[in-house]
Chain A
């Protein structure tokens, strides 16, 4: 028999890397910026985190380094999109290419060595799983209840209006991009430090792209991100778990399901917005648009 609690525990571990990355991207997109470079920042975090954890023997220091590396990579994106007003889609894609290539180049010395063991936390779940879960209400509180969060949302909703009100659009966005980079770095490092315990190039294997899907599924709401990470992680875990139990599973069809669900959710919220009944979550109005103050 399949024990639902055991599946849930598996799911928590599987969801953690994408949860971190998606929460970060959520804040970025809420600020009106679309950064498609999540995969590149995650792999950067995976390498920096692993290398530091290996060198210092401390997973905690590894995660700190991963956050810094993710944020540093995101600053390339920030400089280009915020100061040089480059196209966000293209810049994000370039960041992914760049991150994957750069880490493959500089990761060579770390191949074949092992990371120190993770610190266990309450209920046998490691501390990063707990930190990821705590980050959900924290991001929610910041966005919905704090003044800084209000400004960030205003910037994302309508940057011209926000600018008119005297808010520093560019600074807010740079801060959001840095946060997104740091969170992506943490998510990537979770894969190298907590899941695999080794460094291998390309090891994030598309997790960053899943994180992007989750943000849309979540309707730009932190609790939705948690649900999305659980859905995407859950489908994988569940289909593997069913296979282990000897159930015939149509793997490809099942793994398509979360993406189709994301499209349906996106259509539903867009329709609600379009036809006048506004809901809790919605597409940030200025998403992906460059901002240039004329005054």
Chain B
């Protein structure tokens, strides 16, 4: 790899030439972010940007943050990351799975910069990964959904059949069934993170199937608008979507990256940062259950909050056996819990879900 060595040399020279000296005492820590969508997407990127703002608020003039939004995955991401590195950012957050290989490449070229990649699985000395245990939150809203449905049909609007989304479907279903043994789960995949018209159609398709409570793993409010029209119930996703409360939005599952970002930036400031894989959930405040509205009876709300507390304290794992796979084969023995490795490659439904897994 001759190329890499020369690139390393030249990159270092560039940093020097660009009159951006290394971080000295009392100097600001510059932190860069690249986003896959626009900050105004009201969902995934919006939440990451809120966390960036929280970092600025927490550390005031000790830090300086910048971001590049709507960065396509692939070559453009690598360039955007390098630009951030060359602009003197000493810590860079890459906030989409699709930035993984680009972040790995750029992290190799800039060993002095701390990289953080969301939802990926490749790490190195200066590249950490972080993710949120959304399935913990899904367990809570699944419980609410199981209690609130009158038709015993709950729905799930999936984005892409990737492990994170499949974990959510399984978790929601397991906990809905726990409180309501007659419940059925209907799943619709829209193959997009954000396509309002299609998400609305997906919600309508679920409603036509008899679903009266549904969850979504896509970013727009279109499904909630449909729910409102049809008089069924739903949950906010990624952001709180509070403008649809108290009905149809009866609660929400919010991505809250602020605690993690604040913690990691703090470690970078005091020199204790090191590369690791973080997968935090409700307990760390990374997955937040939004206000459960008055449309939900008090005892259901209490039940959901009790489950939330048990998950938060670590007393209970949402994937605890006995659990079987969709095909009836054994997955987890009584009392056993799923390992993180298993979950991060999850590609099957649990027993009881009748929807086919897309191939």
Contacts and interface: CB of A to CB of B under 8 A. Distances in A.
Interface of A: 2-3, 6-7, 10, 13-14, 17, 104, 107-108, 111-114, 117, 191, 195-198, 200-207, 236-237, 240-241, 243-248, 251-252
Nearest to A13: B204
Nearest to B353: A246
Contact of B188 (A13, A17, A196, A243): A243
B205 A241 contact: yes
Nearest to B202: A240
B208 A14 contact: no
21 contacts: A10-B208, A13-B201, A14-B197, A104-B38, A114-B243, A195-B226, A196-B196, A198-B225, A200-B41, A201-B38, A205-B194, A205-B195, A207-B197, A237-B204, A244-B187, A244-B206, A244-B209, A244-B211, A247-B356, A248-B356, A251-B191
Most chain B C-beta atoms within 10 Å of own C-beta, residue among A7, A117, A243, A247: A243
A203 B40 CA distance: 11
Contacts of B200: 13-14, 195-196
Contacts of A240: 188, 190, 198, 201-202, 204-205
Interface in B166-206: 186-192, 194-198, 200-202, 204-206
Nearest to B214: A244
B196 A205 contact: yes
Contacts of A104: 38, 40
B7 interface: no
Contacts of A252: 191
A197 B225 contact: yes
Interface in B25-77: 38, 40-42
Given A10-B204, A197-B221, A205 B209 contact: no
Nearest to A249: B358
A7 B206 CA distance: 11
A52 B244 CA distance: 20
B344 to A, nearest CB: 24
B354 A191 contact: no
Contact of B192 (A6, A117, A200, A205): A205
Contacts of B243: 112-114, 198
Contact of B186 (A113, A196, A246): A246
A111 B244 CA distance: 14
A201 B189 contact: no
A205 B198 contact: yes
Contact of B356 (A7, A114, A205, A246): A246
B189 A200 contact: no
B40 A200 contact: yes
Given A237-B201, A240-B190, A203 B220 contact: yes
Contacts of A243: 187-189, 205, 355
A108 B41 CA distance: 10
B211 to A, nearest CB: 7
A30 to B, nearest CB: 26
Contact of A251 (B155, B189, B354): B189
Nearest to B42: A200
Contacts of B204: 10, 13-14, 237, 240
Interface in B301-359: 354-356, 358-359
Most chain B C-beta atoms within 10 Å of own C-beta, residue among A6, A7, A197, A236: A197
Top 10 nearest A-B pairs (CB, nearest first) are: A248-B356, A240-B205, A244-B209, A197-B225, A196-B196, A196-B222, A241-B205, A244-B205, A114-B243, A205-B195
Given A196-B220, A240-B202, A246-B355, 8 more contacts: A6-B208, A111-B40, A195-B197, A200-B40, A201-B38, A240-B198, A243-B355, A247-B356
Contacts of B195: 205-206
A3 B228 CA distance: 22
Most chain B C-beta atoms within 10 Å of own C-beta, residue among A196, A202, A240, A252: A240
A241 B209 CA distance: 8
Contacts of A108: 40
A202 B70 CA distance: 11
Contacts of B244: 114
A17 B195 CA distance: 14
A202 B206 CA distance: 25
